[in-house]
């Protein structure tokens, strides 16, 4: 369109130069020599013009007009041909440039089509200058990395859960087979069989309950009540089975907004973990406080030496440390703690203690500062 406008403007400008009429002042630039143009003007103004000379003037004028028309037609023809060639070259170069510019988009599309729940290994891995498409490709690859990590985590979780659920079922089946397959079995064997089956059922029920909590936490927080972690911890300590562990509690007000039942489960799991994975006559420290607009809950215990790498993986489902003295549980206690902290917009960290044991700190945003600084001391 711009080329067509240029051609039209050029043609109009050239056409308006025009050839002069007999009453105008012709010049050599109009195709008539200046001397002849002067004679024509002189003869035209005379009372008895020379007809032969006037005929020559008219002939010269008509020739100049013809030359002008021919020039305009050639100008129009060559301009249109040039415009057509330029349009063709522009289309070709535009197609090539567009193809090169859209090549990253095609790679992103191909990676998106290749991605599926069973195969998320496809990546764009775009090279070249950093521009908007390069940033888009990197963002897409990062998204695929997160999706792949999530799917792999879910697959491991399902596999581990299936394995854990098979264990109590296998115990119940084995107990029944032994009693039924023994011809010497008597009625006295039934209480022992019932006790074994009841223990296996309790084991399965606890596992299913833990899995249900994790599944519900995926739906997000549904209750938004103000909960004081110090009060909840005090109530939990009154009924918690800490065995022969000595508990040191420093409980300052630490108010959060969330689900009171989940807050109880969070503290109960931390205390159970601290008591279960401890040494004989060990110690447990629990504290709550409000600092920098957040509420913190810290639970530490004595125990064997733990490496930082082992501490980092404790929040993964079904993770147990083989060097701990107790192997009870399912390896879901700290996983539930991390899940509850996450839906309350909080974080949880685990740090090994220098002399053995673990320190777990839960940090959750606090809706307001505490009204008092009174601490509840329990030992």
Residues 317-356 have pLDDT tens digits of: 777 665 443 445 667 788 889 989 998 999 999 999 988 8
* Residue positions counted in the chain: 379
Reference 242, options 266, 275, 268, 273; nearest CA is 275
Asked if residue 362 has pLDDT above 60, the reply is yes
Determine the Cα–Cα distance for residues 268 and 334; give it in Å rounded to an integer.
11
Residue 23 confidence class, pLDDT cut points 50, 70, 90: very low
Pick the more confident residue, 285 or 68. 285
Q: What is the pLDDT of residue 294?
A: 94
Determine the Cα–Cα distance for residues 145 and 277; give it in Å rounded to an integer.
34
Q: What is the pLDDT of residue 34?
A: 59
Per DSSP, the three-state class of 55 is helix
Per DSSP, the three-state class of 206 is helix
Find where tokens 């600092």 sit: 291
Asked if residue 51 has pLDDT above 80, the reply is no
Q: What is the pLDDT of residue 204?
A: 81
Reference 60, options 39, 88, 76, 79; nearest CA is 39
Residue 113 confidence class, pLDDT cut points 50, 70, 90: confident
Mean pLDDT, the chain, integer? 80
Asked if residue 64 has pLDDT above 90, the reply is no
Domains and CATH numbers, the chain: 2-109 (no CATH), 132-217 (1.10.287.130), 225-378 (3.30.565.10)
Give me the residues paired with residue 243 across strands.
none
Q: What is the pLDDT of residue 216?
A: 77
First to last CA, the chain: 88
Q: What is the pLDDT of residue 162?
A: 77
Q: What is the CA radius of gyration of the chain?
A: 46
3-state helix, strand, coil in the chain (%, to 5): 60, 15, 30
Q: What percent of the chain has pLDDT over 70?
A: 82
Alpha carbons within 13 A on the beta-carbon side of 97: 6
Residue 176 confidence class, pLDDT cut points 50, 70, 90: confident
Asked if residue 56 has pLDDT above 60, the reply is yes
């Amino acid at each position: 369109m711009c080329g067509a406008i240029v051609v039209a403007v050029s043609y109009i400008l050239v056409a308006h130069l025009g050839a002069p009429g007999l009453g105008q002042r012709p010049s050599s630039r109009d195709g008539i020599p200046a001397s002849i143009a002067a004679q024509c003007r002189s003869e035209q103004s005379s009372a008895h013009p020379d007809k032969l000379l006037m005929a020559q003037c008219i002939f010269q004028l008509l020739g100049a007009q013809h030359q002008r028309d021919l020039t305009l037609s050639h100008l129009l023809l060559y301009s249109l041909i040039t415009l057509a060639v330029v349009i063709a070259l522009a289309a070709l170069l535009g197609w090539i440039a567009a193809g090169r510019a859209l090549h990253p988009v095609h790679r992103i599309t191909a990676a998106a089509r290749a991605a599926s729940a069973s195969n998320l290994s496809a990546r764009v891995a775009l090279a070249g200058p950093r521009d908007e498409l390069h940033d888009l490709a990197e963002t897409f690859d990062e998204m695929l990395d997160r999706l792949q990590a999530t799917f792999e985590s879910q697959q491991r979780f399902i596999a581990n859960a299936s394995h854990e659920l098979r264990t109590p079922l296998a115990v119940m089946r084995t107990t029944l087979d032994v009693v039924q397959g023994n011809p010497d079995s008597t009625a006295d064997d039934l209480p022992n069989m019932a006790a074994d089956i009841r223990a296996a059922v309790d084991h399965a029920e606890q596992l299913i309950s833990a899995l249900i909590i994790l599944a519900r936490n995926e739906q997000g927080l549904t209750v938004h009540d103000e909960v004081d972690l110090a009060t909840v911890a005090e109530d939990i300590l009154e009924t918690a089975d800490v065995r022969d562990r000595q508990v040191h509690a420093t409980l300052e007000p630490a108010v959060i907004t969330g689900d009171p039942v989940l807050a109880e489960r969070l503290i109960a799991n931390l205390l159970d973990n601290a008591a279960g994975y401890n040494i004989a006559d060990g110690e447990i420290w629990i504290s709550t406080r409000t600092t920098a607009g957040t509420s913190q809950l810290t639970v530490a215990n004595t125990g064997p030496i733990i490496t930082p790498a082992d501490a980092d993986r404790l929040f993964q489902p079904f993770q147990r440390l083989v060097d701990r003295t107790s192997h009870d549980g399912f390896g879901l206690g700290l996983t539930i703690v991390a899940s509850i902290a996450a839906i309350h917009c909080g974080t949880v960290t685990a740090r090994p203690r220098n002399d053995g044991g673990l320190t777990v700190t839960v940090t959750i945003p606090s809706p307001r500062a505490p009204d008092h600084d009174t601490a509840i001391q329990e030992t």
